[in-house]
Amino acid sequence: MSLIITNNLPRPEPQALASTVEALAARFGNRLITSQAVREQHAHTTTWLPAQPPDAVVMAQETSDIQDVVRICAKYGVPVIAFGTGTSLEGQVNAPAGGICIDLRDMNRILEVHTEDLDCVIQPGVTRKALNEHLRDQGLFFPIDPGADASLGGMASTRASGTNAVRYGTMRDNVLALKVVRGDGKIITTGTRAKKSSAGYDLTHLFVGAEGTLGIISELTIKLRGIPETIAAAACSFETVRGACQATILAIQTGIPVARIELLNAAQVKACNSYSKLSLPETPLLLLEFHGSEIEVAEQSKNFKEIAAECGGGEFTWTTKPEDRTKLWQARHDAYWSVKALRPGAGVVATDVCVPISRLADCVTETEEDLKRLNLLSPIVGHVGDGNFHCSLLCDVDDAEEMARGEDFMHRLVERAQSMGGTCTGEHGIGQGKQKYLEAELGTEALDAMRALKKALDPQNIFNPGKILPAV
Amino acid sequence: MSLIITNNLPRPEPQALASTVEALAARFGNRLITSQAVREQHAHTTTWLPAQPPDAVVMAQETSDIQDVVRICAKYGVPVIAFGTGTSLEGQVNAPAGGICIDLRDMNRILEVHTEDLDCVIQPGVTRKALNEHLRDQGLFFPIDPGADASLGGMASTRASGTNAVRYGTMRDNVLALKVVRGDGKIITTGTRAKKSSAGYDLTHLFVGAEGTLGIISELTIKLRGIPETIAAAACSFETVRGACQATILAIQTGIPVARIELLNAAQVKACNSYSKLSLPETPLLLLEFHGSEIEVAEQSKNFKEIAAECGGGEFTWTTKPEDRTKLWQARHDAYWSVKALRPGAGVVATDVCVPISRLADCVTETEEDLKRLNLLSPIVGHVGDGNFHCSLLCDVDDAEEMARGEDFMHRLVERAQSMGGTCTGEHGIGQGKQKYLEAELGTEALDAMRALKKALDPQNIFNPGKILPAV
């Protein structure tokens, strides 16, 4: 087992590649870029997977640009990789077989906002912060928040979610329809603006999470929500992870519509105390957010407070004042930087798994024991309402022995989650890094089906080859 | 254009069919049924589409039964059609090319209930009422309510929804994972019990809504909810459909988490008054349900009352007492029977469309005008929070001229919905009845993609042939 993904994918013939670049240059002029710096920038991944730059980058501005890049690449059998902001975590934007990267950041127009229907139509390069900035005056927001200011096209492609998913769902639940450029450059429309439909196969949700391997998303229709009248933040420490998980389970069972419920394990709280000069008890911490009317959030907070007390929770703090909310959530906002500061210079390897919530306490506790046994440092943050948690493993990437322990840890983490009825990734995707776990999770028949779908929609294998599906 | 679906599908060779029936008889004994009465019963559809019975019916009891039926049918190239309760509305259980019907009603075991995880694992023949009966003592329920006591396998296959969808989503949002028998009898596992996953293509949602054309669902893992502490019912009449729709839009925009919000148009209210001896104002009526704690539902009702008043609503009645709730919703519960009673002996043709909610008032109003112009009778009931509404067209099926007007009406209804950015079906599915509308809605590229998926997963075309995809 190795984290180094070779894939051994055949690269295109040099002549085919040269012809492709020539045709692209003729069509795109200086929007075709072949400089090493730009190519390397587009292979940037936030994992420890080695960067694999594309052969060239095209800066797309219009849907017709995507269509023409795809047509030219298809003509010569050259791979084509979509790029949003490069914040994916499992090597999704790497180019293991070379090829052409389509950078979609300039396709960032918000085309339509339908306030009465709570939806909007956007280009794939719109980022979630830009979108929410645009929507704020209209009293609307897009709820999916994966942390990074990712592009919506990328978020759809990796089926992203994040802290709000417990209430608002993931990208899967918030994409109404897509336009997708297929191999011959024509465009597939997957749905309408109707809130629900039973009209044929669910193409929309086949492309959501396909990581650009079945076509390139050129337009999205997504659901919006009204900005809640009142937002309350709350925090409560627990003696054990089990207590925090039990409180979460009860809150969800009794139907408290928590908007966010985040677990920080003791190691993460300790890191935050040190980095953000806080004085939180260094035990597992739950941070919550409630959305609703003033009366509703007060009721939700009160109900959760009772549950927390039942489950061995300590002092329960809550507030609706924006500045106090920010302070209360300080630890969560600084989580990433606090981890970095624990061991300056070390790499942070982010990975995630997701288990049925009844197994979350077991999974986190066993993971903590494993870290101790392997002498590794990795604070844990969890979207605990979904049973999804993240490890931020600190490793000296130049220390082969430590990296081997890190690999061992990650492998055991995935096996643990899967043995508990969970998945190898709740929200980061498969990319390159987790291909080796897919068969153990779903079986050969599911992989056969996925391969058949890939072949049906991308018979030339030009769309982001070497991702999701392990080489046969 | 005709509602009579011929499909002109080639039937299997008589020898192949005889060999299939012989092999099935050897395997299943008296669980293989070829009597005309039983075959006809299994082609029963609740539309005016002509019945097309299968050649034989197998009563399945175990997953291995499904596997063996599929293997035998695949060997001889004979169609295989899954059957739950036969309550689908667009000819989904018809057998236009003959073949073998697998009746799944005896596969009705609830295999696992995970109260902490709010999910359960069931066989496909479990009906929603049986499931909710089983769950009640545990304080849980399954929220999807399409009206009929359908099987969960069938509900998944047609992507059913109903009155609760505005809050709890459709079957798409409530299926976590499936087991699906593929053409060689092997089983595809599409997911885990984790609440969310980014692990590969979304096979689960490809099979949800596939109407049994890509494989046979042999097991479902579905989400459950805690039974709300308090349920409130409310009713409010409006002078116009537009007022009722505007109140709905505002309620959703401001984030009132209505559990149900149903529109009855004036014709439907009139029918209910007559049938159920009520004295409701004969104008558009909204019926609502709120779920939550006592304080929450009171707050929700209060907030909606204010919105209704702003939108020209009349008296607003609400209650949390079960017997009063039933009385308040009487009109909705009796809607179907009240329509039947309007014209005893006539056929009731149920059809549905779904539009962006901002266009719902236009769509319903124009539809009412069209009915008047065509001298047709069809009360309208809508899941108005989703923009989804139903027409129950009363027609003398033996009157060719009236049927032609009915066809014309339904055709125009779909075109109207599609021209407003909506879909030809929000929850009934395509089946046979709506194939002719799919291309206008999504385009040839989407149909190409659907055909490619069908070919990839069912290369022999044995699974429910002649459904969803129009003949080329």
Query: Which positions ≥6 away from A384 have C-beta within 8 Å?
Result: A244, A245, A248, A261, A262, A263, A286, A357, A360
Long-range pairs of B130-133 with CB within 8 A, sequence gap ≥ 24: none
The partner residue sitting opposite A196, judged by closest CB among B229, B426, B469, is B426
pLDDT in tens, B232-287: 999 999 999 999 999 999 999 888 999 999 999 999 999 999 999 999 999 999 99
- Please tell me the distance in Å from B414's CA to the nearest CA on chain A: 12
B195: contact with A, CB 8 A cutoff? yes
Cross-chain residue pair A457–B457, CB shorter than 8 Å: no
B295: contact with A, CB 8 A cutoff? yes
Q: Is A315 helix (H, G, I), strand (E, B) or coil?
A: strand
Find residues 322-381 of chain B whose CB sits inside 8 Å of chain A.
354-358
pLDDT in tens, A411-469: 999 999 999 999 999 999 999 999 999 999 999 999 999 999 999 999 999 999 999 99
Which residues from A are below 8 Å from B161, CB to CB?
Answer: 196
Mean pLDDT of chain A: 95
Q: Which of A111, A189, A201, A424 has the most B C-beta neighbours within 10 Å, making it the best mutation to test the interface with B?
A: A201
- Give φ, ψ of A3 to 5 degrees: -80, -15
Cross-chain residue pair B257–A255, CB shorter than 8 Å: no
pLDDT in tens, A2-22: 444 556 788 999 999 999 999
Q: Which of A67, A120, A173, A195 has the most B C-beta neighbours within 10 Å, making it the best mutation to test the interface with B?
A: A195
Cross-chain residue pair B253–A194, CB shorter than 8 Å: no
As given in the structure block, the two tokens for residue B169 are 């989503």
Q: Which of B196, B249, B360, B469 has the most A C-beta neighbours within 10 Å, making it the best mutation to test the interface with A?
A: B196
Cross-chain residue pair B198–A430, CB shorter than 8 Å: yes
A252: contact with B, CB 8 A cutoff? yes
Q: Report the alpha-carbon distance of residue B437 to residue B443 in Å, rounded.
A: 10
| DSSP character at residue A463 | B
- Which pairing describes strands A100-103 and A80-83: parallel, antiparallel, or unpaired? parallel
Q: Which residue of B has its CA nearest to A424?
A: B199
Q: What angle (nearest 5°) sits at the alpha carbon of residue A309, between those of residues A304 and A315?
A: 90
- Please tell me the distance in Å from B36's CA to the nearest CA on chain A: 31
In order of their start, the domains of chain B are: 14-105 (3.30.43.10), 110-226 (3.30.465.10), 230-335 (3.30.70.2190), 343-440 (3.30.70.2740)
Q: What's the pLDDT at B7?
A: 60
Residue with tokens 């000819």: B91
Q: What's the pLDDT at A2?
A: 44
Q: What's the pLDDT at B471?
A: 87
Reported confidence tier of residue A472, pLDDT bands at 50, 70, 90: confident
Q: Which of A70, A181, A198, A205 has the most B C-beta neighbours within 10 Å, making it the best mutation to test the interface with B?
A: A198
pLDDT, average across residues B380-394: 96
Q: What's the pLDDT at B278?
A: 92
- Please tell me the distance in Å from A364's CA to the nearest CA on chain B: 15
- Please tell me the distance in Å from A361's CA to the nearest CA on chain B: 12
Which residues from A are below 8 Å from B424, CB to CB?
Answer: 199
Q: Report the alpha-carbon distance of residue B160 to residue B172 in Å, rounded.
A: 8
A292: contact with B, CB 8 A cutoff? yes
Query: Which positions ≥6 away from A205 have C-beta within 8 Å?
Result: A172, A175, B172, B202, B205, B206
The partner residue sitting opposite B295, judged by closest CB among A299, A434, A456, is A299
A159: contact with B, CB 8 A cutoff? yes
Q: What's the pLDDT at B70?
A: 98
Q: Is A447 helix (H, G, I), strand (E, B) or coil?
A: helix
Which residues from B are below 8 Å from A161, CB to CB?
Answer: 196
SS (HEC) of chain B: CCCCCCCCCCCCCHHHHHHHHHHHHHHHHHHEECCHHHHHHCCCCCCCCCCCCCCEEEECCCHHHHHHHHHHHHHHCCCEEEECCCCCCCCCCCCCCCCEEEECCCCCCEEEEECCCCEEEECCCCEHHHHHHHHHCCCEECCCCCCCCCEHHHHHHCCCCCCCHHHHCCHHHHEEEEEEECCCCCEEECCCCCCCCCCCCCHHHHHCCCCCCCCEEEEEEEECEECCCEEEEEEEEECCHHHHHHHHHHHHHCCCCCCEEEEECHHHHHHHHHHHCCCCCCCCEEEEEEEECHHHHHHHHHHHHHHHHHCCEEEEEEECCHHHHHHHCHHHHCHHHHHHHHCCCCEEEEEEEECCHHHHHHHHHHHHHHHHHCCCECCEEEEHHHCEEEEEEEECCCCHHHHHHHHHHHHHHHHHHHHCCCECCCCCCCCCCCHHHHHHHHCHHHHHHHHHHHHHHCCCCCECCCCCCCCC
Q: What's the pLDDT at A5?
A: 52
Reported confidence tier of residue B49, pLDDT bands at 50, 70, 90: confident
- Please tell me the distance in Å from B184's CA to the nearest CA on chain A: 11
Q: Report the alpha-carbon distance of residue A361 to residue A350 in Å, rounded.
A: 20
B188: contact with A, CB 8 A cutoff? yes
pLDDT, average across residues B322-328: 91
The H or E element that residue A360 is part of is helix A360-373
Q: Which of B198, B204, B451, B468 has the most A C-beta neighbours within 10 Å, making it the best mutation to test the interface with A?
A: B198
Kindly indicate whether the ipTM for this predicted assembly is greater than 0.95, answering yes or no.
Answer: yes
Q: What's the pLDDT at B2?
A: 44
pLDDT in tens, A38-96: 999 999 767 778 899 999 999 999 999 999 999 999 999 999 999 999 999 999 999 99
* Residue B45 reports pLDDT greater than 90: no
Residue with tokens 């509703």: A296
Q: How many Cβ contacts (< 8 angstroms) between chains A and B?
A: 302
Cross-chain residue pair A200–B158, CB shorter than 8 Å: no
Q: Which residue has the higher pLDDT, A471 or B97?
A: B97
pLDDT in tens, B396-453: 988 999 999 999 999 999 999 999 999 999 999 999 999 999 999 999 999 999 999 9
Task: Say if CB A83 and CB A93 are below 8 A apart.
Answer: yes
Cross-chain residue pair B252–A422, CB shorter than 8 Å: no
Cross-chain residue pair A253–B139, CB shorter than 8 Å: yes
Q: Report the alpha-carbon distance of residue B413 to residue B401 in Å, rounded.
A: 18
pLDDT in tens, A315-329: 999 999 999 999 889
Residue A33: left if φ>0, alpha if ψ -120 to 50, beta else—which one? beta
B418: contact with A, CB 8 A cutoff? yes
Q: What's the pLDDT at A7?
A: 60
Neighbours of B188 (CB within 10 A): 24
Reported confidence tier of residue B6, pLDDT bands at 50, 70, 90: low
- Please tell me the distance in Å from B42's CA to the nearest CA on chain A: 22
The partner residue sitting opposite A210, judged by closest CB among B158, B201, B354, is B201
pLDDT, average across residues B97-117: 98
| DSSP character at residue A51 | P
DSSP assignments along A163-218, one per residue? TTHHHH--HHHHEEEEEEE-TTS-EEE---SSS---SSS-HHHHHTTSTTSS-EEE
As given in the structure block, the two tokens for residue B122 are 């069931």
pLDDT, average across residues B332-358: 93
pLDDT in tens, A237-284: 999 999 999 999 999 988 899 999 999 999 999 999 999 999 999 999
Hey, which residues does B179 pair with through a beta bridge? Answer: B189, B219
Q: What's the pLDDT at B48?
A: 76
Cross-chain residue pair B165–A196, CB shorter than 8 Å: yes
Q: Report the alpha-carbon distance of residue A251 to residue A253 in Å, rounded.
A: 6
Burial of B15 (0-12, 13-18, 19+ CB in 10 A): exposed
Q: Which residue of B has its CA nearest to A385?
A: B195
Which residues from A are below 8 Å from B206, CB to CB?
Answer: 201-202, 205-206, 453
Q: Which residue has the higher pLDDT, B348 or A388?
A: A388
The partner residue sitting opposite B116, judged by closest CB among A173, A249, A295, is A249
Which residues from A are below 8 Å from B228, CB to CB?
Answer: 255
Q: What's the pLDDT at B94?
A: 96
B129: contact with A, CB 8 A cutoff? no
Which residues from B are below 8 Å from A421, CB to CB?
Answer: 192-194
Cross-chain residue pair B354–A445, CB shorter than 8 Å: no
The partner residue sitting opposite B189, judged by closest CB among A182, A434, A446, is A446
pLDDT, average across residues A120-143: 97
Q: Report the alpha-carbon distance of residue A302 to residue A374 in Å, rounded.
A: 41
Cross-chain residue pair A192–B441, CB shorter than 8 Å: yes
Which residues from A are below 8 Å from B115, CB to CB?
Answer: 253
Cross-chain residue pair B253–A202, CB shorter than 8 Å: no
Query: Which positions ≥6 away from B342 have C-beta within 8 Å?
Result: B271, B274, B377, B379, B394
The partner residue sitting opposite A299, judged by closest CB among B296, B303, B446, is B296
Which residues from B are below 8 Å from A191, CB to CB?
Answer: 423, 442
The H or E element that residue A353 is part of is strand A347-354
A45: contact with B, CB 8 A cutoff? no
Cross-chain residue pair B421–A194, CB shorter than 8 Å: yes
Which residues from B are below 8 Å from A434, CB to CB?
Answer: 199
Which residues from B are below 8 Å from A453, CB to CB?
Answer: 201, 206, 453, 456-457
User: Cα(first)–Cα(last) distance of chain A, in Å?
Assistant: 16
Task: Say if CB B356 and CB A193 are below 8 A apart.
Answer: yes
Cross-chain residue pair A172–B468, CB shorter than 8 Å: no
Q: What's the pLDDT at B209?
A: 98
